[in-house]
Chains A and B, each alone.
Chain A
Amino acid sequence: ETGVTQSPTHLIKTRGQQVTLRCSSQSGHNTVSWYQQALGQGPQFIFQYYREEENGRGNFPPRFSGLQFPNYSSELNVNALELDDSALYLCASTLAGGPEQYFGPGTRLTVT
């Protein structure tokens, strides 16, 4: 158990719709990162938040956005869903100064 939870577990959306995925991390973990993992591939970095500010971004378009809240929860929002957005979405939190990222179990998003 990593102490990181994600909801929902599974989600089916239609192309063009919007989706919000949620993550809750451990107390004191002030950095959260989001990753997209397509089937058979390694996780791809989407962005990272530190103390509620975006702190780095991967090669993802602006329709991928996020929020981090003071209670160590965060959201990933994806607008105008495309079929290629179908993937496992992972969030990971880090204790300040620590080397280890603690991953949640992921949300499986299917876009039809």
Chain B
Amino acid sequence: LAKTTQPISMDSYEGQEVNITCSHNNIATNDYITWYQQFPSQGPRFIIQGYKTKVTNEVASLFIPADRKSSTLSLPRVSLSDTAVYYCLASRRQLTFGSGTQLTVLP
């Protein structure tokens, strides 16, 4: 299972775009890159998943370069309610969570 590295914390202001980068140097060929969001005392919530290039849904975009050794989660125009821990995972079935990135959105 690939180990991921991401910043421990990030601060942003309401309305800004936030990019969180994750490193996964030993990602396996059949691993997908998945991001989850977690609020205190709740279970993680799926945000987006991708294998390569770019994936976009109604809440986020995921950018994956050709070598797949890193990925960037992009959250457009964040609000206070986006304050949460964001986890990057490079696996599919047996999720291996790291410590995540605590995103704090300031007014």
A interface, CB within 8 angstroms of B: 2, 4, 31, 33, 35, 41-45, 48, 55-56, 58, 88, 90, 92, 94, 99-106, 108
A102 with B41, Cβ < 8 A, contacts A33-B95, A43-B95, A56-B93 known: no
What is the 8 Å Cβ interface bit string for chain B, positions 63-107, against chain A (1 contact, 0 not)? 000000000000000000000010100001111111110000000
**Min CB gap B49→A, angstroms:** 5
Asked if B49 contacts A45 (CB within 8 A), the reply is: no
CB contacts (< 8 Å) of B32 on chain A: these are: 99
Interchain Cβ contacts under 8 Å between A and B, 14 examples: A2-B45, A31-B93, A33-B94, A42-B97, A42-B99, A48-B94, A55-B93, A88-B41, A90-B43, A92-B43, A92-B95, A94-B93, A99-B46, A103-B44
Question: Complex formed: what's the CA distance from A42 to B92 in Å?
Answer: 16
**Min CB gap A95→B, angstroms:** 12
Asked if A103 contacts B99 (CB within 8 A), the reply is: no
B interface, CB within 8 angstroms of A: 32, 34, 41-46, 49, 85, 87, 92-100
Nearest to A37 among chain B residues (CB) is B97
Asked if B100 contacts A42 (CB within 8 A), the reply is: yes
Given contacts A4-B43, A99-B46, A100-B46, 6 further A-B contacts (CB under 8 A): A33-B94, A35-B97, A42-B99, A48-B94, A92-B95, A94-B93
